[in-house]
Amino acid sequence: MRDDREKWARRRLRFVGGIFAIVFAITAGKACYLQVYKREFLAKEAERQHQRVVQLTPARGTIYDRNHAELAVSIEMDSCYADPRSIENLDETVAKLAPVIGMDREGLKKKLQGSKNFVWLQRRIAPEQTARIKELELAGIAFVKETKRFYPNSETASHVIGFTGMDPEGLEGIERKYDTTILGTAGYLVTERDALGRDISLKGNLVKGASNGHNIILTIDRNIQHIAERELAKVVSESQAKGGVALVMEPATGKVLAMANYPAFNPNAFQKYATQQLRNRAISDSYEPGSTFKVFLVAAALEERVIRAGDSFNCEMGSYHVGDRTIHDTHSYGQLSVADILKYSSNIGAAKIGSQLGADRLHGYLKTFGFGDRSAIDLPGEASGNLRNRNQWYGVDLATISFGQGVTATALQVTTAVSAIANGGDLMKPYLVDKITDDQGGVIRQIAPQVRAKVVSTATAQAVAKMMEGVTIQGGTGMNAAIDGYRVAGKTGTSQKVDPLTRTYSVDKRVASFVGFVPVQNPKMTILVLVDEPKTSPYGGVVAAPAFRAIAEQSLRYLNVPFEVTSKDRPKVIEVKAPVPKVVAEELVADGGEVAVEGTMRMPDFRRFSMRQVLQTMEKQGVNVRIIGSGRVIEQNPPPGKMITPADQVWVKLLPSA
């Protein structure tokens, strides 16, 4: 019996011991699981239960121009908050604080009566307002540092840089395109809670400090940007135009040195502007490029060897029938060489070259030049333009597209395509961001130039560049783009706008443009100036070319680009006072120079006049006029009968009779 009791006791001990061992193992396993595997999760849960986190505005990296001038910065500003449970006298606090922060008393009182121990009152306020609030010495009212986006150059490059919202999230431009790159890490303000989850105190410090995002260094040159914006604003104002665009590109690389829109806006107060004014029209708006397209037509025809530089075409004295349409030139021409078709911008000559090239090849080259496709520039909102599929070309389309009608492009596409002529035939990808750096200045990413396509051979590009130079010398449509000391290649453009109501070409709305590069031998800049709906003259050579010259001249001087030619190689400008003595008139006719005369009156009708007749009229009427070229008058500005003053651009252009 005794042995049985001992055996039973040992069994019970072993059973109880086993139970304890199992319980211990389970407990140890659970403890290990909680302390090792769930440690991070539970720590966060505990923190969440005992702390309230208030997220602060993250700091954004700086945007610089290519010379490291600041274009967009994040500045520290005070944000005002309240700890309602620490307020000693609510009515007194409301009475003193409401007028300073611009809130009505009832609204502020309601805000401060809540159960929370943290309430935002005003975020990112001016230093003088901070000082006024601090002078009140109110219990429960405190400040924390947050960042605000600031654009120190106001309107300069505003359409490129863009702007941010309050978050601060990038809403337009580089700010939007590179938002995740520029945006830093947010800081946090923390409040403590008791075991029941009630707010009990405010620490007033950051548990995690805000860190800056990465910096962006642009290809934009602030000085060239300022020149382009100033001259664009001037030409739009003087021509009473609706708006305009100016682009400056480095043709060898595709770097955009300036991208100007007028009217501009101040990104520090973008809310005050209409949405239309915030749009970057250099990349988002398409227009019919007009005669600037003749450059690409001639390049394609030369490359395909369907024409030679020395060929000539009969330009039908200004009127030519294609199918059921009649194509006109601004002036009557007979035989013109390929170079003169560009120089005098003959639509008929272009149509005949297009006919020899053919629709298939023309369409293929225009696609290779980048038309009809986005360039993939590093900005949001780029348009592709409209180059219809080859199978949608009918009737007269080949002829009209040859001189830039019936096709649309952006200002950026035209500038990039002309840059391919300037650099020897390479279509470059245009870009605005040169490099990305960290907050210590270390380079994270360097962007390199990228060739998109080889559009024409170097020989063809050089031949076309030489022809484009003829546009800016005596007798060419782009004479107003000529610059003393430099060889300039360019092309004028004048295109009709489509009336959105009638869906036909407008009678009086035009786009005047000029695009070119300088110096011809080793181009540093491709520049396009586009003027939308000018009132004084519809011609690109009259309106846009002078702005091109002003931008190029100042930028060349700023970049210290040496002269190519001496001033004696440029056409002369001779100043005289009306009336013009007969002997002086005879000398000027023989010299073939340009004449500028002082005076104010109604503009005479000089059309078809010889130079001698123009000078005789100047002598009789004392009109202030500039004579360009020799032969007979083919164009004048302003038109006959318009009142003119000494400040007006008054000129007549003459060409030898055909």
Catalytic residues: 291
Q: What are phi and psi of 33, to 5 degrees?
A: -60, -45
Distance CA 110, CA 458 (A): 75
Distance CA 233, CA 69 (A): 23
Which tokens in the block code for residue 164? Answer: 């941010």
Distance CA 291, CA 219 (A): 29
Which pairs count as long-range contacts for 469-472, CB under 8 Å and 24+ apart, including other chains?
Answer: 469/520, 470/339, 470/340, 470/342, 470/343, 471/342, 471/343, 471/345, 471/516, 472/516
- Locate tokens 């000078």: which residue? 615
- Give the 3-state secondary structure of 182-225: HECECCEEEEEECCCCCEEEEEEEECCCCECCCEEEECCCHHHH
Which tokens in the block code for residue 126? Answer: 């001016």
Distance CA 43, CA 46 (A): 5
Residue type, 639: P
Distance CA 589, CA 567 (A): 21
The answer to whether 654 touches 344, Cβ cutoff 8 Å, is no
Exposed (0-12), middle (13-18) or buried (19+): which is 407, by Cβ within 10 Å? buried
Residue type, 204: G
164-174 b/e with 16+ CB inside 10 Å = b? beeebebbbbb
The answer to whether 215 touches 66, Cβ cutoff 8 Å, is no
Distance CA 547, CA 228 (A): 9
The answer to whether 172 touches 163, Cβ cutoff 8 Å, is yes
